[in-house]
């Protein structure tokens, strides 16, 4: 029987994403990743049919007022806060493709992982010119940690990606794929290896793909990405205030916000309105108004602004940086969801990628609440 949830779904997700959770059974659900790009030190949870990522291995999560008990026989777990039951969550099942290994002996789970409920995610190149030096590295990034710990391989070949993608579709029903990359040397900023990878996956299996990279120096790459089989494109600002960008991500901030805006304007006609997106980490110092202001410009361009709460990853320079409060996220996501819906760009209409998955933020749940 469903136990009544004391908070709305979007507020409960906000609470668990900003505070993190303490798991009474750390082995429940799909093993969480530590380090790497994207959501790390998180665990996938499902509430009211919505799958989201909640931090479990971060410093704030160890102090979180929220605990999740061991799942019962049906896989359901109660969420508690100070003795009050706040709702019920479930843990998505471990994907079957994790049990497979390539012919040359690489476990599939080192090539790509399951994100959220039905997203296959890979970091095609697990190294980055921005990560080589402490003065240039993005302070929130852990791309080198999972590589150093042997949990992934540095370069996933197109052939390996195609093999894993086919298995993930056939065995686990994944619905779309995220291909991100560290930034290599060269003015394409990773677009070339994303093209090769997308072509190989599309030749093997039907799977909508989002590619993610910094804006390439030449806008022609947008057409090449699209013709290679990339359905949607993410170019991620992360932080929006120029002075904060220069401090928190000194290497990446060499590509100015204005260049991102130019690149979005060039990419939207290629991929379509709402099929180009950005990722903004709320909680690193940008004000709510700064995030809403740039989001208004992005929406006008046809770019989906995927705003997620910052989660500090252990071992990074920002590991002790506080997470944003649930109220701060609410102050952004509530008006932002309205702006997005009024601008005609809904998460549900995105063909592939983070905005469609939505597991790192309550944003798409706010959008659905508005629609209902």
Binders of ligand SF4: how many residues, by CB under 6 A? 13
Query: Out of 38, 144, 184, 274, which residue is the one contacting ligand SF4 (CB under 6 A)?
Result: 38
Query: Out of 16, 47, 53, 266, which residue is the one contacting ligand SF4 (CB under 6 A)?
Result: 53
Which residues touch 193 (CB under 8 Å, ≥6 apart)?
124, 125, 181, 184
**Least spacing, CB of residue 372 vs ligand SF4, in Å:** 22
Please list every residue from 225 through 264 that binds ligand SF4, using CB under 6 A: none
Work out whether the CA dihedral 138, 141, 145, 151 comes out positive or negative: negative
**Least spacing, CB of residue 357 vs ligand SF4, in Å:** 3
**Least spacing, CB of residue 354 vs ligand SF4, in Å:** 3
Closer CB to ligand SF4, residue 29 or residue 81?
29
Closer CB to ligand SF4, residue 113 or residue 224?
113
Please list every residue from 307 through 366 that binds ligand SF4, using CB under 6 A: 354, 357-360
Closer CB to ligand SF4, residue 39 or residue 158?
39
d(CA 170, CA 331): 41
Closer CB to ligand SF4, residue 142 or residue 178?
178
Closer CB to ligand SF4, residue 23 or residue 354?
354
**Least spacing, CB of residue 132 vs ligand SF4, in Å:** 23
Closer CB to ligand SF4, residue 17 or residue 157?
17
**Least spacing, CB of residue 5 vs ligand SF4, in Å:** 22
Question: In terms of C-beta density within 10 A (0-12 exposed, 13-18 middle, 19 or more buried), how is residue 187 classed?
Answer: exposed
d(CA 291, CA 56): 26
Tokens (6 digits) for 333: 């996501």
Backbone angles phi, psi at 72, to 5 degrees: -80, -175
Q: Which residue has the tokens 């952004």?
A: 332
Determine if 35 is a binding residue for ligand SF4 (CB under 6 A). no
**Least spacing, CB of residue 361 vs ligand SF4, in Å:** 7
Query: Out of 20, 29, 35, 39, which residue is the one contacting ligand SF4 (CB under 6 A)?
Result: 39
**Least spacing, CB of residue 55 vs ligand SF4, in Å:** 12
Closer CB to ligand SF4, residue 121 or residue 284?
121
Closer CB to ligand SF4, residue 123 or residue 157?
123
Please list every residue from 151 through 190 that binds ligand SF4, using CB under 6 A: 178
Please list every residue from 88 through 147 that binds ligand SF4, using CB under 6 A: 115-116, 119, 121
**Least spacing, CB of residue 304 vs ligand SF4, in Å:** 12
**Least spacing, CB of residue 291 vs ligand SF4, in Å:** 17
Closer CB to ligand SF4, residue 38 or residue 55?
38
- Chain residues in the site for ligand SF4 (CB under 6 A): 38-39, 53, 115-116, 119, 121, 178, 354, 357-360
């Amino acid at each position: 029987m469903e136990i009544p949830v004391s908070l709305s779904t979007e507020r409960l997700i906000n609470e668990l994403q900003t505070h993190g959770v303490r798991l009474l059974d750390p082995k429940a659900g799909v093993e969480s990743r530590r380090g790497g790009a994207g959501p790390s030190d998180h665990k996938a949870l499902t509430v009211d049919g919505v799958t989201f990522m909640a931090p479990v291995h971060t410093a704030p999560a160890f102090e979180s007022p929220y605990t999740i008990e061991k799942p019962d026989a049906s896989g359901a777990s109660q969420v508690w806060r100070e003795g009050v039951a706040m709702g019920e969550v479930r843990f998505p099942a471990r994907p079957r493709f994790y049990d497979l290994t390539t012919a040359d002996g690489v476990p599939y789970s080192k090539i790509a992982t399951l994100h959220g409920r039905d997203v296959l995610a890979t970091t095609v190149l697990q190294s980055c010119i921005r990560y080589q030096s402490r003065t240039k590295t993005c302070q929130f990034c852990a791309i080198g940690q999972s590589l150093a710990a042997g949990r992934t391989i540095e370069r996933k070949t197109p052939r390996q990606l195609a093999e894993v993608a086919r298995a993930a579709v056939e065995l686990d029903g994944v619905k779309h794929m995220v291909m991100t990359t560290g930034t290599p040397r060269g003015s394409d900023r990773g677009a070339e290896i994303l093209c090769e990878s997308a072509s190989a996956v599309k030749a093997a299996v039907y799977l909508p793909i989002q590619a993610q990279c910094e804006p390439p120096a030449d806008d022609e790459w947008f057409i090449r990405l699209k013709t290679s089989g990339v359905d949607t494109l993410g170019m991620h600002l992360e932080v929006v205030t120029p002075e904060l960008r220069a401090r928190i991500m000194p290497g990446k901030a060499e590509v100015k916000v204005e260049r991102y805006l130019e690149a979005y304007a060039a990419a939207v006609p290629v991929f379509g309105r709402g099929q180009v997106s950005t990722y903004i980490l709320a909680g690193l110092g940008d004000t709510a108004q700064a995030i809403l202001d740039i989001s208004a410009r992005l929406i006008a361009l046809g770019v989906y602004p995927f705003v997620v709460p910052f989660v500090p990853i252990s071992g990074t320079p920002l590991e002790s940086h506080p997470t944003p409060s649930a109220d701060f996220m609410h102050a952004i996501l509530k008006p932002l969801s309205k702006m997005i819906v009024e601008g005609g760009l809904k998460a549900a209409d995105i063909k592939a990628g983070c905005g469609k998955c939505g597991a790192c933020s309550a944003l798409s749940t706010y959008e659905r609440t508005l629609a209902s």
